[in-house]
Chains A and B, each alone.
Chain A
């Protein structure tokens, strides 16, 4: 019940944002759909006439369909930058296959005797196409357009990854922030949108075949009107542009804090951290929200701005383990603590750089490091039960998971199973509390602000206090979840604002305060 009330409250509070995201979502979906129809329908008709190349065209469209969406978006950044353009192009590519295939199937399926009669009666090729082939292929063709529409509503959520807006901002923000209301506020409208658009198109599909001509007028009209809701965001000329992750945008120790404490007034777009660093390097973005130990910092020649008013809380990494597991395997704690205090910020950045940029495997990087620090012992291959290590879906967590695997294998009779790539904080933490994994590396700040979500007073009191935050999360996790925080590993992977080195130097920006002053000048 509390959950429901919270949801409606959230909707009420965020109604402006929800409305603009929904419009952006509809716009992205329909603009790409219109372009896809304009290209795919003629292409489908064409390959129905040239059966020999039909296989090649359908095959190519099929290959496009198999490219993972986020990868496709990433590929396009160097050419199209970030924002709606690459998003629309990607959605367009995904909509091609169903429309081409159904147009082709529909046109090929028209009875040859009917075409022959039409030609024999003296109809021109254009008349045969518009009066015979298209009307007869129409139901199949429309089915293809409906499929493409539903696919596009789904894929358009990913547009939030590359600063194109849409309901994905709530969905991914909600996942990152462990905020179910936010996830639902994005997911429910997206689902309703898919159902609604599909329903509207189904009405068109059932239109009496003779009235198909009416459809030729109505369909473009509806599509154009609905997509016109979405005016392409005006280009920000000359001013600095910030690109922040959905998670950062919604956090007190993120964008909200920047606004409140620093009064930072910068144009922002929402973007995935997978493409954010690259977009900054390509000068599509000027300020990004990164992590201080990220290997890409080194790879893309970015610098972090000093947080001179201490809004970013400490994010010291430490393994968090279910107490039940420690009770069952008491030797585990000492083994995991062998890594305590061993890795500092610059070491972690260098390790991340090897994985993220030099493309070395996390296994190799972990092994090299463990050998160099004399922490490696040959695996005992024991049979004393299995420990399941989880990790979030980025390089640093993969490396840490591998290091713990090496430690456990070398120092105990326990076996290890790694479950890496568990999405964001919420997914990982839920896996832990639901006994899907036994431990994973977590950050004190994340545990404090995202998982515990203390009241404002506590947050203010403990804000920048490294030890205070660690003590607080240790105690709270133990009480609430029977989960133990082991000793911190040493490095502090906190949020940081980053800029290109040469831009920061030429503008003489070293701290966030400098950035705010610079923005206020212009």
Chain B
């Protein structure tokens, strides 16, 4: 879907992106991860030409994006920002109608699609006439997502989409987003500095530092087969939790009948907090779990 080749971008004397190449497959969720200033946002913005690279090429669906007028290119790519970027002088309904109107959609088509997204995103229909300032942070972020999904673009770019939310809202919205059928089929490139978020949302993670890609691969690959010391060091602080989250219960206990959604972390969480009432009727204990996990890791 996306092929980036040898992208280089300087700002003045500083090098923001230093000769990077990567691919994103159709339907894949690629997370650009790194600390601030690592070049992840610059990389993202080069995909919809908000920033033009000094050299290098980006192909979307096999077409060099430079052959397309930037405005036309951007209307076909969903874009979600950290601070939602909703127009303060437009109502919610007007805000989400911006791109469809640019594409000259008929009014009734816009209304139909908006109703559909309102339902899927758990937005109350009464919000349509409100201005963004009257909405909660979570609602604003959902409206921002709805706006980017209105014309059903196959590709979605998200720049720290949950960055402005408080921790609890962030976790619940993330969960909601993952379950959204609209997003399942889409190719998504997402920028974040939050490791948990990267592991939760990403099919693959592209770890960047100082304008270069340190490693690109699945969460498990980055955790268990780090390409270099930088990658290993990057996850050290949260290593155990990340490892437990990224390994499925089934992989540790092949005989378990747990679904492919349940990670070792989930199982352990259920053991530690039985009051939540989602303890399955097997007899795995914490000791067994940790021993099995260590064995799995050694393999």
CB within 8 Å of B: which residues of A? 111, 113-114, 116-124, 127, 132, 135-136, 209-210
Contact = CB atoms under 8 A, between A and B. Distances in A.
A209 to B, nearest CB: 4
Nearest to B74: A122
B195 to A, nearest CB: 25
Contacts of A122: 70-76, 99, 102
B87 A119 contact: no
Contacts of A209: 89
A121 B74 contact: yes
Given A121-B148, A136-B89, 14 more contacts: A114-B85, A116-B85, A117-B81, A119-B74, A121-B79, A121-B99, A122-B70, A122-B71, A122-B73, A122-B74, A124-B71, A135-B89, A136-B88, A210-B90
Nearest to B70: A122
B289 interface: no
A119 B98 CA distance: 11
Interface hub of A116, A122, A132, A136 (most chain B Cβ within 10 A): A122
B43 interface: no
Nearest to B79: A120
Interface hub of A113, A119, A120, A127 (most chain B Cβ within 10 A): A120
Interface residues of B, number: 27
Given A116-B50, A116-B81, A121 B88 contact: no
B71 A114 contact: no
A132 B84 CA distance: 15
9 shortest interchain CB distances as A-B pairs: A117-B85, A122-B75, A122-B74, A120-B79, A113-B83, A209-B89, A113-B85, A122-B71, A121-B99
B149 interface: no
A127 B75 CA distance: 13
A123 B79 contact: no
A117 B86 contact: yes
21 contacts: A111-B88, A113-B81, A113-B85, A116-B85, A117-B79, A117-B84, A117-B86, A119-B50, A120-B85, A121-B79, A121-B98, A121-B99, A122-B70, A122-B72, A122-B73, A122-B74, A122-B99, A123-B98, A123-B102, A132-B87, A136-B88
B48 interface: yes
B100 to A, nearest CB: 10
Contacts of B88: 111, 114, 136
A117 B161 CA distance: 12
A289 B48 CA distance: 73
A123 B81 contact: no
A123 B50 contact: no
Contacts of A210: 89-90, 94
A120 B71 contact: no
A119 B102 CA distance: 12
B161 to A, nearest CB: 12
Contacts of B86: 114, 117
Interface hub of A113, A114, A117, A210 (most chain B Cβ within 10 A): A117
A499 B209 CA distance: 85
Contacts of B73: 122
Contacts of A135: 89
Nearest to B82: A113
B89 A120 contact: no
A163 B80 CA distance: 61
Contacts of B90: 210
A121 B89 contact: no
Contacts of B71: 122-124
Interface hub of A119, A121, A127 (most chain B Cβ within 10 A): A121
Nearest to B45: A120
A234 B73 CA distance: 57
Nearest to A125: B71
A111 B89 CA distance: 12
A132 B94 CA distance: 13
Contact of B81 (A120, A124, A127, A132): A120
